[in-house]
Structure 1
Amino acid sequence: MKKIGFLSFGHWSPSPHSQVRSASDALLQSIELAVAAEEIGADGAYFRVHHFARQLASPFPLLAAAAARTSRIELGTGVIDMRYENPLYMAEDAGAADLISGGRLQLGISRGSPEQVIDGFRHFGHRPAEGASDADMARESSRRLLEVLEGEGFAEPNPRPMFPNPPGLLRIEPHSPGLRDRIWWGAGSRATAEWAGEQGMNLMSSTLLTEDTGVPFHRLQAEQIQRFRDAWAEAGHDREPRVSVSRSIFPVVSDLDRQLFWRERHSTDQVGRLDGGDARFGRTYAGEPDALVADLAEDEAIAAADTLLLTVPNQLGVDYNAHVIESVLTHLAPELGWR
């Protein structure tokens, strides 16, 4: 059994070929897709966060709005770039959104992906400490966020406050119990997956790894997942971790599907360069359901994960993306034993 959700980058473009032509369209349609996904039986609605881009950027208003319109589906991010975040302010926003959702938030965080601008985090007022890198800064912000989400008091109360304080040191409010266990690290390599396991964060792995060992993407990702689980066990955490992988999967069950994705039927892994290093990109799965069932049954990383996130082409609109999600749930999930 797997949880199956969607992951949207929330692209928008004024192009007449796009169903999402403004930031308003991207936000409102994201909420509508979360509602539609819940109605057809999906388990999660996840949203990417990119700054300085015509994409989704500020996740917490969106997550809170989607939470108010849904009742069951998990709501998450994949991922928030921690180089841009004030961890205490983020803890307040996350706590509020999680309480509105009734404890359904699943927050993916990480060092982030290649940026639209040079050192964009500096425009947000964040700079690495002397001798540290931006990756170090992201990990330190993540460590602080996890610490604050534990809910322990740390701030000395004012002896003459405006309102009465509870006894002892004060914590960030609102505090949402359990949110600390629903933080995921978006790992781009085997080493960062091990670090996530040591820290007690769930693992979120995408269709991209910033390393290449010559083996197929799904096997490299399966090795990453196993190293994460080994690190988790060695750290002695007292709960079972969760692992998600993302895939582009398009069952061809209509003429429109065939028109849009026939070129992807023979998709393969790609190897390239990213941030000065080797990277391996996973393939797109597109084709008739029977063929996809056979192909997906060989994907070792999907088999090792408890959660599958379907990357959706959001600019094709809510109705078409709901169709894609429903096609996976209907034509593939039962045959593969995911449901």
Structure 2
Amino acid sequence: MPSTSRPLRRLGFLTIGLFDESDPRLGHESTLGLIQLGEQLGFDSAWVRHRHLQYGISSPVALLAAATQRTRRIELGTAVIPLGWENPLRLAEDLATVDILSGGRLNPGVSVGPPMHYDRVKEALYPDTAQAEDFGYERVRRLLDFVRGEAATDFDGTEGFEVFSDRVQPHSPGLGSRLWYGGGSLGSARWAGEHGMNFLTSSVVKAEGLEGAAEPEDFADIQLSHIRAFRAAHPDGEKARVSQGLVVVPTDSATPEQRAKYEEYALKRTPRTLSPQGPARLMFAPDIVGTSAEIADRLHDHAAFREVDEVAFALPFTFDHEDYVQILTDMATKLGPELGWQPSA
């Protein structure tokens, strides 16, 4: 088996946190249970997705606040919060509060762009300012400034019986170094690096510069170019943190029925991985299903994986709780060691 250029140092997982509309508590409790299991298995981090007006976690910061009280060690992340739905100052307050409660374990990941289906939701979200909202990088920069302790107002001091601060409170000093940008383009990678963020790269990238090409470029090569562009722009250079989030499903302890389910899931999603999709020309990585030894071989052959020492493997969307327990257990006890990782105490 070829060796990786960067030994795997940190193992994490990502879940969407689906729930049934008729009993949403059960789904949220399932997600919290998986985070607790992740800590018991020695995972370094647990990440939750963000979904609005869907049957997935709509408020990851609130859910992670609950997770801070059920865990002691595992880092907790969002992958990612779409800032088009957020007020950066208010979000900065929430993030700092949860980070304080966690003892400095929060890793907020964010992204930019207009909210999904913006024409249909803008009157509910921004009824008076829909045309004036800026959904570009400036929104991230404002969040960065607030989290890092820059002034939010020109006033501080005492007014009557109340004391005011000119910056977001509470202030969590280390949180600014644990902000992540979730990006799939060269521009996003460079911007995140230039602004000293960490970089989340997933199973989706933009196939830039492929128009007119006879064959699409390889997903791994495109992702590798993003990682290198990010580090080239980052003040920390090669030490800048990058986490990769492919969909990986180990089957070592799976039942025959589970294996069949996992393979069918991956097969249905394979056609979208064969060429760039849609006007944005998005490229999707194939889901990797197999034994831990088989998955490790494929990852060691993946050019972008060889460039990172942190991963947050994404759990498939639609499986059952017991499936996720099996997958996470195999990740921690079989796949992680195959990749040279050791569980945290």
- Asked if these proteins are the same fold (TM beyond 0.5), I'd say yes
Structure 2 portions without partners, runs of 5+: 1-7, 211-215
Preserved contact between residue 85 and residue 115 of structure 2 (Cα < 8 Å): no
Superposition CA RMSD, Å: 2.5
Taking the aligned partners of 1:184 and 1:26, their CA distance within structure 2 comes to: 26
Residue type of the alignment partner of 1:284: D
Cα 1:91/1:114, change in 2 over 3 Å: closer
Q: Secondary structure of the equivalent of 2:54?
A: coil
Map of 2:4 onto structure 1: none
Q: Secondary structure of the equivalent of 1:316?
A: coil
Taking the aligned partners of 1:113 and 1:164, their CA distance within structure 2 comes to: 36
Residue type of the alignment partner of 1:207: S
Deviation at 1:259, TM superposition (A): 2.3
What do the CA deviations read for 1:22-56 (whole angstroms, capped 9, x no partner)? 43222221111100111111111111112111111
Preserved contact between residue 207 and residue 276 of structure 2 (Cα < 8 Å): no
Preserved contact between residue 26 and residue 56 of structure 1 (Cα < 8 Å): no
| TM norm structure 1 | 0.86
Deviation at 1:304, TM superposition (A): 1.4
Residue type of the alignment partner of 2:18: H
Taking the aligned partners of 1:117 and 1:12, their CA distance within structure 2 comes to: 24
Taking the aligned partners of 1:211 and 1:119, their CA distance within structure 2 comes to: 28
Report which stretch shifted further, 24-33 or 329-338: 329-338
Report which stretch shifted further, 114-123 or 94-103: 114-123
What do the CA deviations read for 1:214-265 (whole angstroms, capped 9, x no partner)? 2221121011100100011xxx359942111111111222323322123367
Taking the aligned partners of 2:156 and 2:220, their CA distance within structure 1 comes to: 51
Give matches, 1:131-150, under 5 Å.
136-150=134-148
1:177 to 151, 161, 173: 173
Deviation at 1:192, TM superposition (A): 1.0
Report which stretch shifted further, 213-222 or 69-78: 213-222
The higher relative CO (CA closer than 8 Å, separation ≥ 6) is in: 2
Does 1:224 pair with 2:226? yes
Preserved contact between residue 12 and residue 315 of structure 1 (Cα < 8 Å): no
Preserved contact between residue 20 and residue 27 of structure 2 (Cα < 8 Å): no
Does 1:333 pair with 2:333? no
Q: Secondary structure of the equivalent of 2:61?
A: helix
2:12 to 5, 23, 30: 5
Taking the aligned partners of 1:323 and 1:265, their CA distance within structure 2 comes to: 17
Does 1:244 pair with 2:243? yes
Map of 1:201 onto structure 2: 197
| TM norm structure 2 | 0.85
Identity %: 30
Taking the aligned partners of 2:33 and 2:317, their CA distance within structure 1 comes to: 11
